A and B are shown apart, each in its own frame.
Chain A
Amino acid sequence: MNGADVALVFRREALEILRDRRTLLAGVLLPVLLYPLLFFGTERVRRAAKRSLEGREVAIAFSPGAEEARAAIEPRLEGRVCRLVSGSFDDADVSEGGVHAIVEVRPDPRTVVVRFRSNVELSAEAASRVSGAVEEWREEERLSRLAGAGLVPDPGAPFGFVSLDAAPPERAGGALLGRLLPLVLITVVISAGSFAALDAFAGERERGTLETLLVHPVSSVDLATGKYLAILATALGSSLLNLASLSATLLLAGGLGGERAGNLRLAPGSIAGALLLLVPTAALLAGLLAEVSARARSFREGQNYILPLVLASMIPGIAALLPGVVLDPFLALLPIAGPALALREVLKGSAATLPVAIAVASTFVYAGLLVRRVGGLLDAERILREEAPERATPGAGLHARSTLVATGGTFLVVFALGFPAQARDPIGGLLATLFGIVLPAAFLVARAARVRPGEAFGFLPFRPSHLLAGASLVPAASLLSAFVLAFQQSFLPVPEALAKEMAEKLQIGTLPTLVAFLLYAASPGVCEEMLFRGAVLRGLRRDLPRFRAVLLSSVLFAAFHFSFYRFFPQAALGVLLGFLTLRAGSLWPAIVLHAGHNALVLFAGDEVAILAFDPRFLLAAALGAAAAFWIVRRPRPR
């Protein structure tokens, strides 16, 4: 490696990044302004809103018979702007311009009633003022009665109770920041780093400067290294600005006596710990960003790739920050989740040295492994081959269209014949649908798209390692659909009755295990994969770029299940299956993965959803996915 060349490339990248308005926005303005806006902005708005309501006059009406209440309440509203009236009013009179609360007193038992409208702001305010006054009045009367009866102030209360927080203010604040800061820092690193990465790799290709760069007497490893360092510097610089802004905001807020920010403080040790964890994490994420954007042909394509990366990095981050998860040496090994948890513990001041050290060290190792790959990112053979001149053939788009039409026809047949059959006989109907409709449809769609069956299904040459790849992705796939389902539950919960009815119809639990496996795991694995990842994906791929073909085939696959609730989990699974198939050039891994995923859901059921949040399962999924990625890596064409 030539240090001078790396530095030269780094300087040019850094200069262009600094001159780019977009990076400036994502890398400087946003991270710096985030905290002031968050603390001062919301605090101010809240206070201003409160003050403006507190200063307004409200009209409180007392119904006939509430004279005593009026006499008791009136002095207790002293100092508040209230207009008291007496007379007969009903609910219809409560409005912005009328009276705002009506007080009446009902006998047996004597009850004070406050009528108001919660949807009228001033009415809610009036009710809250009256309630406060009534509470005071009642307490005073209670105490005077007790005294009249010669009793101690409160014979009903066995003992007093006060809780005192012994944590120093900076630690208490640290616990709150610990929940927030790791995610904010991951977001800042990715948002600033992604612009730098897209500009350095995908942008370079799009502008047509990459080929020029590659014909200069500088090794492609040095070029890639210089670019990587520029991405890392941008990400780190931006997160340092973010930390500095946080410290400054907290100091200022403390000095100004801000209500909520006042007791948030960062100990100097916490800042040092945060930096120690930040550097390897940023190195890791910068490596990922470089890898992703170097595979994109254009800025826009790169943006498409970065969005899933953002989500994929946030999930371990969020999972680690769930309450109840405690950092142990095992969790510390998880990429992103380990350092996020360690940072939380450091800010709380309760970090054990060993797990934090493991988190730092393992992240450095992961980053190192990624950085080793960076050198190969500017492989001209790969980059220029992707631009090979075999596009723009006449009739482009026809294959994709025929694929869609043929698939639509299949949907109709399943709807018209398959579903009625399944309604009469769930098991026989399912078999008829899969082997009588879906499997022949795979061949018909392939024919419509003019893809030879051998090419569409890629069963040969058979590689046993492909079976292993499919199997080792099962935990990751289950995790993916469990996460999507869990996320979907928050806005679209599956009705329990529906889930129960489904289980009964499928006779899960009454069938022998092997029969259930063949019926619900193996058969859909083979038939659906041959249709969707075989014929449909290959047909679409004839005209569409990889990403779009995979996405479209996944949407079709998800729609095919004719279930609103299963759509998103199935679509996510379809994306994984699609990329796996294209990468392997064979349908075997997808068939094994599909069958394995179904089997896991079938036999482990709800436990998968619980397992999904177990860090050990997460690790198993990550290792399995890495193994699969390694096994089906593309052979280099000679």
Chain B
Amino acid sequence: MSVDGAAVRVEGLVKVFADRHRGTFRAVDGVSFECKGGEVLGLLGPNGAGKTTTLRILSTVLLPTEGKATIAGHDCVKDPVGVRGSLGFLSANTGLYPRLTPRETLAFFGRLHHLPEELIEARVEELLDLFDLKDIAGRRCEKLSTGQRQRVSLARTLVHDPPVLILDEPTTGLDILGTSAAMAFLQEKRAEGRAILFSTHVMPEAEKLCDRIAILHRGRILATGTLEGLRVQTGRRYLEDIFHVLLAST
């Protein structure tokens, strides 16, 4: 599935958290970017940069204080149901229901998307195949390894075949094999024409996978561009150095 034009469009996004004891806190402070179908955009930044909050606004679980965001043409504030139908979202530290099996898990989320039963059945088998989960499809999720669980979670994001994938630090907790499998998965989905937005603080991952990179710090975007463009802009070769130069210039 693919979408024409910008699958994800974010303009002047602001999120202010109000805390009675600590005052207000601008977690996201005027962020704008776009991501087209068949493109991987990486949100790169240290902990607390505002990556997770931005992705949560896009996934409609949080409301923006200001600004506008659309996913596949659906407005995140005005049409959250449309957004959720077009989006596969993997939150950071995502979990699974411990006493459901992978097969039951995928079917449950398919039903939450109101897919017809025959389609769910076919899609679940297809995803179990794709993610090499056939052998463990009947085992409870609490008995699976971290890598197996992450595969179930990734499969879950695809159960309704969405044009946009938003993945918040999808490689956290994975070993080398798990990480490369996840990376291969992202490349494959890009080739299918999906728009992929993913956040990470692991620089080599971003270097390897992203078509474009947006660097976030304290709720603001310091720079957006291809890796090559950022190299030219900063005169540094490695992303880590690029990041430090951008940080120093603020």
Q: Does A216 touch B at the CB level, under 8 Å?
A: yes
- Does any Cβ of A come within 8 Å of B131's Cβ? no
Task: Choose, from B86-94, B184-192, B197-205, the stretch at the interface.
Answer: B86-94
A207 interface hit (Cβ, 8 Å): yes
CB of B84 within 8 A of CB of A217, answer yes
User: Which of A383-391, A559-567, A603-611, A618-626 forms part of the interface with chain B?
Assistant: A383-391
Residue B20 is within 8 A (CB to CB) of chain A in the complex: yes
Q: Is the CB of B97 within 8 A of A215?
A: no
Contacts of B109 in A (CB 8 A): 212, 216
Complex Cα spacing A214 to B87, Å: 12
For the complex formed, measure the closest distance between the CB of A138 and the CB atoms of chain B, giving whole angstroms. 72
- What CA separation (Å) do A12 and B17 show in the bound complex? 33
Query: Which of B18, B61, B84 is within 8 Å of A380, CB to CB?
Result: B61
Contacts of A46 in B (CB 8 A): none
**B87 and A208 contact, CB distance less than 8 A:** no
Interface residues of A in 528-551 (CB under 8 A from B): 541
CB distance from A613 to the nearest CB of B (A): 38
Contact between A585 and B56, CB atoms less than 8 A apart: no
CB-CB contacts below 8 Å: A384-431 with B: 384-385, 388-390
CB-CB under 8 A for A388 and B112, given A20-B99, A212-B91, A212-B156: no
CB-CB < 8 A to B246: which residues of A?
Answer: none
4 nearest interchain CB pairs?
Answer: A637-B18, A208-B95, A207-B95, A19-B99
Interchain CB contact under 8 A, B89 and A212: yes
> Among A12, A384, A455, which residue has its beta carbon within 8 angstroms of that of B100?
A12
Contact B56–A384 (Cβ < 8 Å)? yes
Does residue B180 face the partner (Cβ distance < 8 Å to A)?
no
Using a CB–CB distance below 8 Å, which chain A residues touch chain B? Answer: 5, 8, 12, 15-16, 19-20, 207-209, 211-218, 380-381, 384-385, 388-390, 455, 541, 585, 634-635, 637-638
Q: A390: which B residues are within 8 A, CB to CB?
A: 22, 25
Q: Shortest Cβ distance from A216 into chain B, in angstroms?
A: 4
B118 at the interface (CB under 8 A from A): no
Per-residue A-contact encoding for B15-54, CB less than 8 Å = 1, 0 else: 0011111100101000000000000000000011000100
Contact A216 to B93, CB < 8 A, known contacts A8-B108, A16-B100, A389-B47: no
Closest chain A residue to B47, Cβ basis? A389
Interface extent on B, as a size class? 35 or more
Distance between A532 CB and nearest chain B CB, rounded to angstroms = 18
A contact residues around B139 at 8 Å (CB): none
User: Who on chain A is nearest to B48 by CB?
Assistant: A389
The answer on a CB contact under 8 Å between B99 and A15 is yes
Chain B min CB distance to A227 (Å): 13
Chain A proximity of B46: nearest CB distance (Å): 11
* B96 located at the interface, meaning its Cβ lies under 8 Å from any Cβ of chain A in the complex: yes
- Tell me whether B138 is interfacial, beta carbon within 8 Å: no
Instruction: Name the residue in B17, B20, B89, B99 with the highest tally of chain A Cβ atoms < 10 Å from its Cβ.
Output: B99
Whether B179 sits at the interface, judged by CB under 8 Å, is: no
Q: List the B side residues contacting A16 at CB < 8 Å.
A: 97-100
Q: A381-B62, A585-B20, A637-B19 are known; give 16 further A-B pairs, CB within 8 A.
A: A8-B108, A15-B104, A16-B100, A207-B95, A209-B96, A211-B56, A211-B91, A211-B94, A212-B156, A217-B112, A217-B113, A390-B22, A390-B25, A541-B21, A635-B20, A638-B18
Report Cα–Cα, A389/B113, bound state, in Å: 31
> For residue B237, which residues in chain A have a CB less than 8 angstroms away from its CB?
none
Nearest-Cβ distance from residue A101 to partner chain B, whole angstroms? 63
Q: Which residue in chain A gives the minimum CB-CB distance to B82?
A: A217
Query: Residue of B at shortest CB range from A13?
Result: B97
What is the bound-complex CA distance between A438 and B32, given in angstroms?
54
Min C-beta distance of A356 to chain B, whole Å: 40
Q: Are A215 and B84 in contact (CB under 8 A)?
A: yes
Q: How far is A153 from B21 in the complex, measured between Cα atoms in Å?
A: 89
Contacting pair B97 A209 (CB below 8 A): yes
Inter-subunit contact A12/B108 (CB<8 Å): yes
B93 near A208 (CB under 8 angstroms)?
Answer: yes
Q: How far is the CA of A348 from the CA of B45 in the complex (A)?
A: 70
Residues 109-139 of B at the A interface (beta carbon under 8 Å): 109, 111-114
Pull 15 A–B residue pairs with CB atoms less than 8 Å apart, ordered by A.
Answer: A8-B111, A15-B99, A16-B98, A207-B98, A208-B93, A209-B95, A214-B61, A215-B84, A217-B85, A385-B19, A388-B27, A389-B47, A634-B20, A635-B20, A637-B19
**Contact B112 A216, beta carbon cutoff 8 Å:** yes
How far, in angstroms, from A341 to B85 measured CA to CA in the complex?
51
Q: How far is the CB of A635 from chain B (nearest CB, A)?
A: 8
A16–B105 Cα distance when bound, in Å, is 11
- Chain A residue contacts of B91, Cβ below 8 A: 208, 211-212, 215
